[in-house]
Amino acid sequence: MVLETDQTKLRQLSSFLARMNGDRHHHVGYCGEQEGEIYSTLLEDFSENGRLSSQRFTVIYDQDQMVGALGFDVDEEEGTAEIWGPFIDAEDELWHRLANELWVEGTMKLNGSVTRYFGFYNAAHPSAARFMEDKGGRKTGVHHVLKIQKSTLLANAASGLQDITPEYWDEFENLHGTAFPNTYLSSESILQKLDEYHRLFIFTEEGRFVGYVYVEGDPDFQEGNIEYIAVSEQYRRKGYGRLLLDQALHYLFQVLQLQEISLCVDQDNAGALQLYHRAGFETVHKLAAYVLE
């Protein structure tokens, strides 16, 4: 086996990751499943001057055949990284031997810049669970990935929603911090990302802040994500969550003309799961989250 770290071909890696991630026994939640989408992400987040960053991705070859890959999507300011992999075209002890080779090589190249790693693996991927446990990782929860197609019948969008405006920033920040403590996107990060394809809708009642929904759309790949929905405590169980969800679906399906929308929900959040299933979403993956420090 040969560890390849320099000038790895992005197209070859994209094809390999798409093939591996399409199998639930090798599925990693941070990585997409469409080859074109994966290629775009690698080019944007893991490359320098059009070439795969040898610091962010390490690949193993057997002769000219790619058999393993491990990447780190690093947040330099926070000193954290989401683990892309290990993707290993093998099973059992060979999987673990190659995974450890990739881990040693990959983490060494980060030069101590990362102090916390996040893993997100399919519940049907026992090799990843053992890998995380062997490295001292802590399981932090189980999440459902749900999807809905454009052909699914939708309710009418709520008319009382609007894009967030500065007078509601503080209330949004307070609710986001309460509803999603320690989440991967802070309220400040969300506000900085806002544009045509990253929208933060709010619902108000007589000028009072009720709740919000944050969505992201990717017209190039006809996909969108509902990243966060939250309703202030005094307005819960009054149907506002469904109003926010309907607006998100309307924007992503009807305005951006996307074909598929995904979201991720904590398995323990029975109310949210019921809301999404009633709206037509179906669970496609169950993923276990890990943190390694």
Please, which pLDDT band fits residue 258 given cuts at 50, 70 and 90?
very high
Q: What is the pLDDT of residue 5?
A: 46
Instruction: Give DSSP secondary structure letters for 125-178.
Output: -HHHHHHHHHTT-EEEEEEEEEEEETTS--PPPPTTEEE--GGGHHHHHHHHHH
pLDDT digits (tens, 9 = 90+) for 100-117: 999 999 999 999 999 999
Pair 97, 152 in one domain? no
Q: What is the pLDDT of residue 27?
A: 98
Cα–Cα distance measured from residue 69 to residue 58, given in angstroms and rounded to the nearest whole number:
6
pTM comes to 0.84
Pair 26, 151 in one domain? no
Q: What is the pLDDT of residue 211?
A: 97
pLDDT digits (tens, 9 = 90+) for 180-220: 987 878 999 999 999 999 999 999 999 999 999 999 999 99
pLDDT digits (tens, 9 = 90+) for 137-186: 999 999 999 999 987 655 555 556 799 999 999 999 999 999 998 787 89
What backbone torsions phi and psi does residue 249 show, to the nearest 5 degrees? -65, -40
Residue 61 has pLDDT above 50, yes or no: yes
Pair 180, 70 in one domain? no
Instruction: Determine, yes or no, domain membership for 130.
Output: yes
Neighbours of 108 (CB within 10 A): 10
Q: What is the pLDDT of residue 156?
A: 56
Parallel/antiparallel/unpaired status of strands 80-88 and 116-122: parallel
Cα–Cα distance measured from residue 228 to residue 213, given in angstroms and rounded to the nearest whole number:
6
Of 136, 168, 188, at which residue does a domain stop?
136
Pair 179, 221 in one domain? yes
First to last CA, the chain: 29
**Mean pLDDT for the chain?**
91
Burial class (CB in 10 A: 0-12, 13-18, 19+), 139: middle
Mean pLDDT (whole number) for 46-65: 86
What backbone torsions phi and psi does residue 98 show, to the nearest 5 degrees? -70, -35
Q: What is the pLDDT of residue 118?
A: 96
Count of domains for the chain: 2
Q: What is the pLDDT of residue 151?
A: 74
CATH of the domain at 64: 3.40.630.30
The encoded tokens of residue 233 equal 């405590």
Residue 72 has pLDDT above 80, yes or no: yes
Instruction: Determine, yes or no, domain membership for 193.
Output: yes
Q: Are 204 and 243 in contact (CB under 8 A)?
A: no
Pair 99, 161 in one domain? no
Three-state SS letters, 6-70: CCCCHHHHHHHHHHHHCCCCCCECCCCCCHHHHHHHHHHHCEECCEECCCCEEEEEECCEEEEEE
Cα–Cα distance measured from residue 161 to residue 146, given in angstroms and rounded to the nearest whole number:
24
Cα–Cα distance measured from residue 139 to residue 16, given in angstroms and rounded to the nearest whole number:
27
Of 91, 115, 136, at which residue does a domain stop?
136
Residue 1 has pLDDT above 90, yes or no: no
- Provide the percentage of residues in the chain whose pLDDT is more than 90: 81
Q: What is the pLDDT of residue 2?
A: 53
Q: Are 86 and 98 in contact (CB under 8 A)?
A: yes
Q: What is the pLDDT of residue 10?
A: 87
Q: What is the pLDDT of residue 47?
A: 86
Q: What is the pLDDT of residue 7?
A: 45
Q: What is the pLDDT of residue 77?
A: 86
Q: What is the pLDDT of residue 78?
A: 86
Domain that holds residue 73: 2-136
Instruction: Determine, yes or no, domain membership for 112.
Output: yes
Nearest residue to 20 via CA among 39, 33, 37, 36: 33
Please, which pLDDT band fits residue 6 given cuts at 50, 70 and 90?
very low
The encoded tokens of residue 165 equal 């405006």
Pair 66, 151 in one domain? no
